[in-house]
Chains A and B, each alone.
Chain A
C-alpha cells in the first residue's frame, strides 16, 4: 500500500461518488412523478442497442489488426457466435460456444 488507510478510504469514497453520480443523474433529472420529455423517452428506446454496439467495440479496443495474430481469434469467435445464434437462438449456448472457441484459439492455435 502506497497510501495510508485513511487516504485509501477517501479514494474509495470519491471513486464511488463519481460512479454513482453517473448512475443516478438520469433518474434525478427525470423523476417518476413528472412526465419524461418525449425526446428522452425516444433515446431510452434506441440507446440500449446503440450502447451494446459501443460495448462490443470497447471490449475489442486493444486488439491490433497489424500485429500477429491480426485480431483473428476475436473475429473468428464473433463470426461463430453470430452463426450459432442465428442457427439455434440460444443465448447461453452462443456465449459458451464463442468463449470456448476463443479460448482454444488463443491457447492452442495462435
Chain B
C-alpha cells in the first residue's frame, strides 16, 4: 500500500468514526444481549459469532433463535428472513446513487447494509476532501465489527456484567429520532418523513407489533407514488 493511499484511508476513518459512536454503544449492548441469549439456548461463542458474521442483521438474528431451538426447518427460516428483512429493499433503492462507482467495495457495502449503517450513510455526506469509498467503508465495517465484538463479549463474559444497563438499548431509537430530524431539515423530505411515521403507526395499529413492517412499507410506497407531483 502506498503512503498516500494510507493517508487517505486514515483521513476517511478519522472523519467517519464519530458518526458511528451511537452504533458502537447500541451494537455492543444489543450484540451482547444476543450472545447471552444464544448462550442460554446452548449456542456458544463460536455459533453466535458465526451467525453475526455470516447472516449480519440484528432483528432476524433474534427471530432466528426460536428457529434454532425447534424442529429443523430451513425453508421456514429462509422465508422468515425474507419477510423480516424486506425493508432492506428500500435501503438499496435509496443507496443506488451514493454507492455508485465504488468498484469491488460496493459488494461489501451492500452486504453490510444494516438498519443503522443505512441510517448513517443515507444521512451524512463525506466531506469534500475525503475519499468517498473509504468513508462509507469505514462506517459499514466499523458497525459490522461492533456487532460481532458485542456478540462475542455477550457469549463469553455476559454473565459477569453487574452494572445496570436497563434502557441503554434506547440509544438506537435515539439515533433514528435524531437522523429523522437531520433528514427532515430539508424541506422536500419533511412530507416523506411524516408519511413514514404515519404509515408505520397505521401499520402497527392495524397489523400488530409482529407484522407491522411490510404493510407499512406498502403504505409508504403507495402514498409516495400517488403524491409524487405534490412532493
Query: Which positions in A face B, CB cutoff 8 Å?
Result: 1-3, 7-8, 10-27, 30, 32, 36, 39-62, 73-74, 77-78, 81-82, 85-86, 91-92, 94-95, 98-99, 102-103, 105-107
Q: Are B176 and A52 in contact (CB under 8 A)?
A: yes
Which residues from chain B contact A19 at a C-beta distance below 8 Å?
A: 55-57, 60, 81, 85, 88
From B47, B54, B106, B118, A27 is in contact (CB under 8 Å) with B106
Size range of the chain B interface in the assembly: 35 or more
Q: Are A23 and B111 in contact (CB under 8 A)?
A: yes
Which residues from chain A contact B80 at a C-beta distance below 8 Å?
A: 18
Q: Would you call B8 an interface residue if the criterion is a C-beta within 8 Å of the partner chain's C-beta atoms?
A: no
Q: Would you call B158 an interface residue if the criterion is a C-beta within 8 Å of the partner chain's C-beta atoms?
A: no
Please, how many angstroms separate the alpha-carbon atoms of A62 and B169 in the complex?
14
B113, closest chain A residue (CB): A23
Knowing A21-B82, A49-B196, A54-B87 touch, does A3 contact B180 (C-beta < 8 A)?
Answer: no
Q: Are B196 and A51 in contact (CB under 8 A)?
A: yes
Please, how many angstroms separate the alpha-carbon atoms of A18 and B203 in the complex?
23
Please, how many angstroms separate the alpha-carbon atoms of A14 and B93 in the complex?
23
14 new A-B contacts, CB < 8 A, other than A47-B224, A53-B196, are A12-B50, A14-B74, A39-B228, A40-B93, A40-B96, A41-B96, A42-B228, A43-B93, A47-B93, A52-B123, A54-B213, A61-B209, A98-B178, A99-B168
Q: Would you call B204 an interface residue if the criterion is a C-beta within 8 Å of the partner chain's C-beta atoms?
A: yes
Q: Would you call B212 an interface residue if the criterion is a C-beta within 8 Å of the partner chain's C-beta atoms?
A: yes
Shortest Cβ distance from B178 into chain A, in angstroms?
A: 5
Q: Are B209 and A98 in contact (CB under 8 A)?
A: no
Q: Would you call B45 an interface residue if the criterion is a C-beta within 8 Å of the partner chain's C-beta atoms?
A: no
Please, how many angstroms separate the alpha-carbon atoms of A90 and B78 in the complex?
40
Q: Are B166 and A11 in contact (CB under 8 A)?
A: no
Please, how many angstroms separate the alpha-carbon atoms of A69 and B174 in the complex?
19
Query: Which positions in B face A, CB cutoff 8 Å?
Result: 18-19, 21-22, 25, 41-43, 47, 50-51, 54-57, 60-61, 64, 67-70, 72, 74-75, 77-82, 85-97, 99-101, 106, 110-111, 113, 115, 118-119, 122-123, 164, 166-168, 170-184, 188-190, 192-201, 203-204, 209, 212-213, 216-217, 220-221, 224-225, 228, 231
Which residues from chain A contact B193 at a C-beta distance below 8 Å?
A: 49-50, 52-53
Q: Are A55 and B119 in contact (CB under 8 A)?
A: yes
Please, how many angstroms separate the alpha-carbon atoms of A77 and B183 in the complex?
20
Which residues from chain A contact B56 at a C-beta distance below 8 Å?
A: 19
From A40, A41, A46, B189 is in contact (CB under 8 Å) with A46
Question: Can you list 18 A-B contacts (CB < 8 A)?
Answer: A1-B41, A11-B72, A13-B54, A15-B81, A19-B85, A22-B92, A39-B225, A40-B96, A44-B95, A44-B96, A53-B196, A54-B199, A56-B173, A58-B213, A74-B170, A85-B181, A99-B174, A103-B168
